[in-house]
Amino acid sequence: MHKKKIYIVIGARPNFVKLAPLLDKMKEYPELLPVVIHTGQHYDFRMSESFFQDLNLPVPDFNLGVGSKTHGKQTAEIMEKFEDICIDSKPLAVVVIGDVNSTLACALVAAKLQICVIHIEAGCRNFDMTMPEEINRKLTDHISNYLFCATEKSVEYLKNEGINQNVFFTGDLQYDALKSNIKKADKFSSIFSKIGYRPGEYYLATIHRADNISKKKRLKNIVDAFCGIERVVFPCHPGTQKWLKKYNLWERLNRKVKVIDPVTYLEMLALERGAIKIITDSGGVQREAFWLKVPCITLMDHVLWPELFFEGWNVLIETNKDLILKAVYAPHKLKGQKQYFGDGNSAGVMAEIINGI
């Protein structure tokens, strides 16, 4: 049987989470041959390998080993190395996920080589072109042949940009992953002894976006707010640690806040589910909070997933100490929850479409 070779590109931890359910469903089609390309954009064990263990993912077929660099250098190196692989063994299609540098770099290479580009999580917009992620996702959408949207709002955004062909509302792979892994998180209750709190006793915080951590005033406002909240648990991204130390905020934060190293995927699910509220600038954590029915405070200037705000589970707050503290202690006006992100079988929908290419 002639196999349809499909390259699937991953680079950062949100990609790893979404890879697992997609690979599982692609196995149901014997004619598909998925080949996993890890660019190495996240190379730290806690940011990469631990996720492969938690999600029982296979060792990638290729690891480009790019590591951390400036946007331009990282994107260029990914393109150079990925192009060699594509020329050496041309696939039928290249699947890219989300909005990281790996997404745009590999989509550009495939498009220039006349290889079909499939973008998962297409149509996501916050309309802030100062953000690298917005540039990545928008450019990727405009050179993709198939566009898989997590929500109907994303389909609408693409139509507004004149993208109408091969656009599908598939649902969100991250929701698939959460549904299939949430029970496994029960086995990671040891994380609570590590943080010194039981479920329902703490607030969970995550900060990593460049706009929040690289600007001293914004980062100081966030640190001031965290230090004013009782019982904050803060898994700290390596990049965030670097900026906290550069601006001499690291020691003060550690005195007031329970700062811990980055956690594994299943540990994070356990922490999210047990939190009173979650404070974050992560699009992925926002969605997981929504599905786990934990109120969320988002520290961003623009809404990334408007669906999260319709029922009151999420509020958008400027990086201002007083506003953050007010949001933390104010009651959220919670309503119901609709299935904006599909029914948890987005991987099955995607695999069927990919098999038909």
Architecture per CATH, domain 184-329, reads as 3-Layer(aba) Sandwich (3.40)
Rg (CA), the chain: 20
Do 4-172+342-355 and 184-329 share a fold? yes
List the beta bridge partners of residue 297. Answer: 279, 315
* Lateral strand order in the sheet of 296-298: 258-260, 232-235, 203-206, 278-280, 296-298, 314-316
Q: What is the pLDDT along the chain (357 residues), one digit of tens a residue?
A: 689 999 999 988 889 899 999 999 999 999 999 999 999 876 554 456 777 788 888 889 999 988 878 889 999 999 999 999 999 999 999 999 999 999 999 999 999 999 999 999 999 999 999 889 999 999 999 999 999 999 999 999 999 999 999 999 999 999 999 999 999 998 888 999 999 999 999 999 999 988 899 999 999 999 999 999 999 999 998 889 999 999 999 999 999 999 999 999 999 999 999 999 999 999 999 999 999 999 999 999 889 899 999 989 999 999 999 999 999 999 888 888 899 999 999 999 999 999 999
Q: Which residues contact 339 (CB under 8 A, 6 or more apart)?
A: none
What is the predicted pLDDT for the residue at 45? Answer: 43
Strand pairing report for 116-120 and 146-149 = parallel
Which residue among the candidates 42, 208, 237, 302 is catalytic per the annotation? 208
What are the structure tokens assigned to 284, written together? 């992925």
CA distance 208 to 236: 8
Closest CA to 82 of 98, 96, 69: 96
Amino acid at 266: L
Q: Kindly report the pTM of this predicted structure.
A: 0.93
What is the predicted pLDDT for the residue at 43? Answer: 55
Look at the domain 4-172+342-355 and name its fold.
Rossmann fold (3.40.50)
Query: Containing H/E element for 175?
Result: helix 173-181
What are the structure tokens assigned to 154, written together? 């994303």
Strand pairing report for 258-260 and 232-235 = parallel
Each residue of 186-221: b (16+ CB within 10 Å) or e? eebeebbeebebeeeebbbbbbbbebbbeeeebbbb
Sign of CA dihedral 315, 321, 323, 329: positive
Q: Where are the domains of the chain?
A: 4-172+342-355, 184-329
Is 142 known to be catalytic? no
CB-CB contact of 122 with 148 (8 Å): yes
Closest CA to 173 of 16, 36, 57: 16
